[in-house]
């Protein structure tokens, strides 16, 4: 086969969570937000407040593991020998020291993730301009793929091979073509380059550090989201309460609630909007946890294609950027980019020009083959040694028989 699936399982559906639910939120957010009554701080607050829904999953996991841990501790206590209590105390002291160190590392990671997450989100909304929007399909995507890949290489030691470089090069060529087509419609090109580079650098650092934290500290995305959500939400609430009474002009959260949540129905829609926002954020975190930060490319570009099609239906008669010709060309380019993102992340494998040689599937297959060969060699050597030992024993017995005669 020229093309084959690396792994085909239900986890591949994680790619659809983000693009589907972020588009749904385009509709849930406007159901209760009054026109011109939303503000930046309230927007960022809602984003991280939604993370607290992870507490439901954390509680479920805690209840499930609590009984197992209790039984494990009981078994250990039953096996304790009184003569070994002194040694156990020493081990307990050492264990406590290791636990304290892990707690400190956890706190540092969570504070760092919270700070980067907040400033990336707030800065992204604050510095974003409409003049940059037509450049997002080319400039933003290039910096996203580049920054994520470079940061993954240095921070989580992700290795890249021939199929990565070729797919990255082809994606870059397609993005150049999109940029050329978009050029007549671009405004503030230099500003869009600077903005999208810094924007994707911040989010790339955020997502790659999320992966590193979860791998190094053995934490689930639910726990990590919950902690980051709690830290940022508390900090924003403390700030906003003080700001509201000292200088209301720099406040936002209390004003956002006052202007938009004025009935039980609005409060219900507010909770629904938080839930939808939580689901698409969770889709990103689970994708990073299960696969890698670079797998986010697939979800992101599927989302961008859906966004472009929706904008085409809305603006193709009034905005030349969304003309029928551009839509046809962009659709071809978007589908090709999604395809090469899939190749980059080894969801599909190309079985020619050696592009499959260093994929995880082939590496694991070679390792299994080498292991099986090693086991076969060990059995052969063992049989040979047994045969030699048996022949030697037979020879000695024959010799002893002759001597006795």
pLDDT per position as a tens digit, 117-152: 999 999 999 999 999 999 999 999 999 999 999 999
How much of the chain exceeds pLDDT 70, in percent?
A: 87
Lowest-confidence range among 14-18, 54-58, 63-67, 269-273? 63-67
**Between residues 76 and 36, the one the model is more confident about:** 36
Q: Is 8 left (phi over 0), alpha (psi -120 to 50) or beta?
A: beta
Cα 329 from chain centre: 30
d(CA 342, CA 170): 13
pLDDT bracket for residue 403 (50, 70, 90): low
3-state SS track over 154-209: HHCCCCCCHHHHHHHHHHHHHHHHHHHHHHHHCCCHHHHHHHHHHHHHHHHHHHHH
Question: Over the stretch 293-333, which tens digit does the pLDDT of each residue have?
Answer: 999 989 999 999 999 999 999 998 889 999 999 999 999 99
pLDDT of residue 363: 86
Cα 173 from chain centre: 26
Residue 61 to residue 119: CA distance in whole angstroms: 30
- Other CB atoms within a 10 A radius of the CB of residue 265 amount to 11
Considering the chain, what is the average pLDDT of its residues? Answer: 88
Q: Give the distance, in angstroms, between the CA of residue 26 and the centroid of all CA atoms in the same chain.
A: 22
pLDDT computed for residue 208 by the predictor: 97
Q: Is the pLDDT of residue 389 over 70?
A: no
With cut-offs at 50, 70 and 90, classify the pLDDT of residue 398. Answer: low
Which of 14-23, 91-100, 101-110, 127-136 is least confident?
A: 91-100
| Structure tokens, 225 | 């989201």
Q: Of 4, 3, 13, 2, nearest to 291 (Cα)?
A: 13
Across 15-33, average pLDDT: 93
Q: What is the mean pLDDT of residues 54-71?
A: 84
Taking only the tens place, the pLDDT of each residue in 192-226 is 999 999 999 999 999 999 999 999 999 999 999 99
Question: Which is more confidently placed, 67 or 400?
Answer: 67
Lowest mean pLDDT among 69-78, 333-342, 353-362: 69-78
pLDDT digits (tens, 9 = 90+) for 340-383: 999 999 989 898 888 888 888 888 888 888 877 777 767 676 77
For residue 167, pLDDT over 80 is answered with: yes
Question: Using one digit for the tens of pLDDT, what is the confidence trace for 360-370?
Answer: 888 888 888 88
> Band of the pLDDT at 82, cuts 50, 70, 90?
very low
**Measured distance CA(330)–CA(343) in Å, rounded:** 20
Compute the average pLDDT of residues 285-291.
94
Averaged pLDDT for residues 10-23? 89
Could you tell me if 319 and 356 are in contact, meaning their C-beta atoms sit under 8 angstroms apart? no
Region 149-174: mean pLDDT is 96
Domain ranges for the chain: 3-356
Is there a contact between 147 and 65 (Cβ–Cβ < 8 Å)?
no
The DSSP code for 34 is P
Q: 7: phi > 0 → left, psi -120 to 50 → alpha, else beta; which? A: beta
Q: What's the pTM value of the predicted model, to 2 decimals?
A: 0.87
> pLDDT higher for 94 or 142?
142
Place of tokens 């599927």: 302
Residues across the chain: 405
3-state secondary structure of 3: strand
Task: Report the Cα 369 to chain-centroid distance in Å.
Answer: 31
């Amino acid at each position: 086969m020229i093309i084959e699936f690396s792994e085909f399982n239900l986890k591949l559906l994680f790619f659809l969570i983000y693009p589907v639910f972020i588009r749904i939120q385009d509709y849930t957010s406007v159901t209760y937000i009054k026109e011109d009554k939303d503000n930046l701080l309230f927007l960022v607050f809602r984003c991280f407040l939604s993370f607290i829904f992870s507490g439901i999953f954390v509680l479920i996991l805690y209840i499930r593991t609590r009984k197992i841990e209790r039984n494990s501790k009981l078994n250990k206590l039953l096996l304790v020998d009184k003569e070994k209590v002194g040694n156990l105390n020493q081990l307990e002291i050492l264990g406590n020291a290791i636990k304290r160190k892990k707690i400190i590392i956890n706190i540092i990671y969570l504070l760092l993730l919270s700070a980067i997450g907040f400033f990336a989100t707030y800065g992204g909304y604050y510095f974003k301009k409409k003049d940059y929007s037509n450049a997002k399909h080319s400039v933003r995507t290039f910096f996203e793929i580049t920054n994520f890949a470079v940061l993954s290489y240095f921070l989580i030691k992700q290795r890249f091979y021939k199929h990565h470089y070729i797919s990255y090069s082809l994606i870059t060529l397609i993005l150049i073509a999109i940029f050329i087509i978009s050029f007549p419609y671009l405004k503030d090109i230099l500003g869009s380059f600077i903005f999208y580079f810094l924007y994707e650098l911040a989010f790339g650092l955020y997502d790659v550090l999320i992966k590193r934290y979860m791998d190094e500290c053995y934490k689930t995305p639910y726990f990590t989201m919950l902690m980051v959500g709690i830290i940022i939400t508390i900090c924003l609430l403390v700030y906003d309460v003080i700001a509201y009474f000292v200088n209301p002009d720099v406040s936002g959260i209390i004003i956002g609630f006052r202007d938009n949540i004025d009935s039980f129905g609005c409060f219900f829609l507010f909770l629904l909007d938080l839930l939808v926002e939580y689901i698409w954020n969770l889709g990103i975190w689970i994708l990073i946890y299960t696969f890698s930060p670079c797998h986010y490319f697939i979800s992101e570009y599927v989302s961008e294609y859906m966004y472009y099609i929706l904008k085409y239906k809305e603006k193709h008669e009034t905005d030349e950027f969304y003309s029928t010709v551009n839509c046809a060309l962009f659709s071809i380019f978007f589908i090709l980019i999604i395809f090469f993102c899939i190749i980059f992340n080894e969801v599909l494998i190309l079985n020619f020009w050696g592009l499959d040689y260093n994929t995880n599937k082939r590496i694991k297959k070679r390792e299994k083959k080498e292991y099986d060969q090693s086991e076969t060699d060990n059995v052969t050597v063992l049989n040979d040694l047994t045969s030699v030992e048996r022949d030697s024993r037979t020879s000695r017995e024959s010799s002893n028989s002759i001597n006795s005669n």
